[in-house]
Amino acid sequence: MPLVVQKFGGTSVADSQKILAAARKAVRARQEGNEVVMVVSAMGHNTDLLIDLARQITDQPPAREMDMLLSTGEQVSVALMAMAIHSLGYEAISLTGAQIGIKTDSTHTKARIQSISTARMRAALAEGKIVIAAGFQGIDEDFNITTLGRGGSDTTAVALAAVLEADSCEIYTDVDGVYTTDPRLLPEARHISRVSYDEMLELASLGAGVMHNRSIEFAKKFAVPIHVRSSFSDVPGTMITARPEAVDMPVGGAALAKDEARVSILGVPDKPGSSLAIFSKIAAKAVSVDMIVQNIGVDGIADVSFTVLSDDLPATLKAAEAAKAELGAESVTHGNDMAKVSVVGLGMAQQTGVAQRMFLALADAGVNILMITTSEIKISVLVDRAQGAQALRAVHQAFSLDTPPKGAADRGNDVAPSARGRGDAVAVVARLQKMEELSIDDIALDETQARVTISGVADTPGIAAAVFEAVADGGIFVDMIVQSYGREGKARLSFTVPQKQYQACLDLVAGLAKRLACGPASGSAKVAKLSISGIGMRSHTEVAIRTFRCLAEAGINIEMINTSEVRVNVVVDGRHGAKALEVLTKVFADAR
């Protein structure tokens, strides 16, 4: 009998009528001849209310007790859902994470799934029952209740679909699918009929809260097709599979992350091991870092900037101060009211000028860019929070995201996982000890690039746009771009270009920098770019840490870095490419 997993989010079970409506969907699937596993979130905003209650008691509730508290939200809704199914004349059983046997590590409030036992669910299904699983929760080795992080019920659903080899995984929510950006922020956002795992992974981790990013890691790793759809209608939603909507679109979606903070450590000695000292201290606080910009040192000192969630700022500043003291750096600065605007698209890798278009749109909208990082399939910029929504709109418009692309694939018939490349997925997973373990596919060395850097970039809108317009007009192909947050409002902008275009680019940029009242321009005729690709690259903070550590131990200095969900790229001195590849290959051998 086919098996479906149906997940219902908070708004979809916000009151008794909605619980009954969700129960009817499950019963209908049962009547159509499926085995049904439901995954249910806490009712409405219950999780927020519980967090608020805890905060009324103390500013720093123990994480273990937070999990004990938060898990109750889901326990309420699964029990009610089971009653609703019974009232409709069908058999059902509600199960907590512990009762299912969802084993996690002990990182309270951000736990990772290690294994899931299917025996109890299978037995209940065999008895004809609808299984109702509490989302978002698990249990650690010592029987402590854990939770998977906000929005984690999606991850429970996809993980259950994976271990049960479900034929479909339906995510019922309060929108009828994935849009080009959050439709609540931008009414002109367009419904997407399908989106690839890689794009959804980036969008989810860059602010598109419609799916928990780790659920997409699971889906990609285990080849689970996901159907995101509305709880309140039967219209087709969005399929998340390996295939993108249209291959020739440079950008498929945009996202805004509103609660970002920037931290900069200025005057860091520019030597191997500095990044390690900084980021290992932050990782020890289980804070995940984005937009790391490690900019090339002038006179042997570098500035390191990065972003974290505003909530994580106090813990991050403590770690940054400790790193500053240890390294003898000059100072730590921060900005709290920041927003990150990102564009994502698989097509970006094949097209030039995408970054330039984005920067131009922002310049035209009068938005000042504070930091930039790019990867093969995404570009992120940091802006003042007050300009975030305006920046998102400008970018959405610049890429005509409100218009359907030509040649867009329709939803298509997605073949059930059992009939697809499931064998490959199972092989990937068989290599892993634990379900959410890091999985590395490839480590590659590119020795064809050079680096160009402009210092003293003025803190006004339009500079990046002018630079990349001129560079594109000069026929120069830009790969990685990073812009740091500098001292006294002066940033540093670095990018890589093909070695054979290095001199031409440097000449062009030197003249331009003068005209823009920036500069000087400098660079390196030969750099080596190392790319580590896989699944879970960013959510597993240890990838960056291990990279920093092994390069530091080999005496190799990192000149530029960028991270995405599927890749970490580092640029090092051109002389050290082969050595860097060797040490990285060795250090990640266990994850391949």
Residues that bind ligand ADP in the complex, under the rule CB under 6 A: 9-12, 41, 151, 173-175, 178-179, 181-184, 208-210
Return the one option of Mg ion, ligand ASP, ligand ADP, none that residue 178 interacts with (CB less than 5 to 8 A, by type): ligand ADP
Residue 440 interface partner, choices ligand ASP, ligand ADP, Mg ion, none, CB cut-off 5-8 Å depending on type = none
The one of ligand ASP, Mg ion, ligand ADP, none whose footprint includes residue 213, by CB under 5 to 8 A per kind, is none
150 binds, among ligand ASP, Mg ion, ligand ADP, none (CB under 5 to 8 A by kind): ligand ASP
Does 523 bind Mg ion (CB under 5 A)? Our answer is: no
What string of DSSP letters covers 301-337?
Answer: EEEEEEEEEGGGHHHHHHHHHHHHHHHT-SEEEEEEE
Q: How far is the CB of 10 from ligand ASP (least distance, A)?
A: 5
68: number of CA atoms within 13 Å, CB side? 8
Binding mask 135-164 for Mg ion (x = CB under 5 A): ----------------x-------------
Single residue of 6, 11, 12, 47 touching ligand ASP by CB under 6 A: 47
C-alpha distances out from residue 58 to 53, 66, 109, Å: 9, 11, 16
DSSP 386: G
Q: Which does 583 bind (CB under 5 to 8 A by kind): ligand ADP, ligand ASP, Mg ion, none?
A: none
Q: Residue 136 binds which one of ligand ASP, Mg ion, ligand ADP, none, with CB within 5 to 8 A depending on kind?
A: ligand ASP
Taking alpha carbons only, the member of 396, 401, 394, 335 closest to residue 365 is 394
For position 14 contacting ligand ASP by CB under 6 A, the verdict is: no
Q: Which residue has 């550590």 as its token pair?
A: 549
How many CA atoms within 13 Å lie on the side-chain side of 469? 13
Q: Does 577 bind ligand ASP (CB under 6 A)?
A: no
Identify which of residues 150 and 579 has a Cβ nearer to ligand ASP in the complex.
150
Closest CA to 333 of 558, 562, 488, 559: 488
Check residue 136 for interaction with ligand ASP (CB under 6 A): yes
Q: Could you tell me which of 349, 365, 372 has the C-alpha nearest to residue 252?
A: 349
Cβ at position 21, least distance to ligand ADP in Å:
14
Interacting partner of 179 out of ligand ASP, ligand ADP, Mg ion, none (Cβ under 5 to 8 A depending on kind): ligand ADP
Does residue 335 belong to the site contacting ligand ASP (CB under 6 A)? Answer: no
Spatial distance between the Cα atoms of 469 and 357, rounded to a whole number of angstroms: 9
* Shortest separation between residue 150's beta carbon and ligand ADP, angstroms: 8
Using CB distances below 5 to 8 A depending on partner kind, what does residue 47 bind out of ligand ADP, Mg ion, ligand ASP, none?
ligand ASP
Q: 352 and 374 in contact (C-beta within 8 Å)?
A: no
Smallest distance from ligand ASP to CB 168, Å: 19
Closest by CA to 319, choosing from 285, 275, 291, is 285
Q: Work out whether 306 is an interface residue with ligand ASP (CB under 6 A).
A: no
Query: Of the two residues 42 and 537, which places its CB atom closer to ligand ASP in the complex?
Result: 42
DSSP per-residue codes, 17-51: HHHHHHHHHHHHHHHTT-EEEEEEPPSTTHHHHHH
Q: How far apart are CA 204 and CA 169, in angstroms?
A: 18
The reply to whether 574 sits near ligand ASP by the rule CB under 6 A is no
Distance CA 194, CA 202 (A): 15
Question: Strands 3-8, 168-173: parallel, antiparallel or unpaired by DSSP?
Answer: parallel
Establish if 252 lies at the interface with Mg ion (CB under 5 A).
no
If the CB atoms of residues 151 and 405 are measured against Mg ion, the closer one turns out to be: 151
Kindly state whether residue 44 participates in binding Mg ion, applying the rule CB under 5 A. Answer: no
Query: Minimal distance in Å, beta carbon 200 to ligand ASP?
Result: 16
Q: Which of residues 50-69 bind Mg ion (CB under 5 A)?
A: none
**Among the listed residues 278, 254, 252, 255, the one whose alpha carbon sits nearest the alpha carbon of residue 265:** 278
* Contacts of ligand ASP in 144-183 (CB under 6 A): 150-154
Among 441, 421, 419, 442, smallest CA distance to 432 is for 441
- Going through 166-217 in order, the beta strands assigned E by DSSP cover 168-173, 194-196
β-pairing, 3-8 with 102-104? unpaired
DSSP string, 203-245: HHHTT-TTS-HHHHHHHHHHT--EEEEESS--S--EEEESS-S
Nearer to Mg ion, 9 or 225 (CB): 9
271 binds, among ligand ASP, Mg ion, ligand ADP, none (CB under 5 to 8 A by kind): none
Q: Which residues bind ligand ASP (CB under 6 A)?
A: 9-10, 41-42, 47, 73, 135-136, 150-154
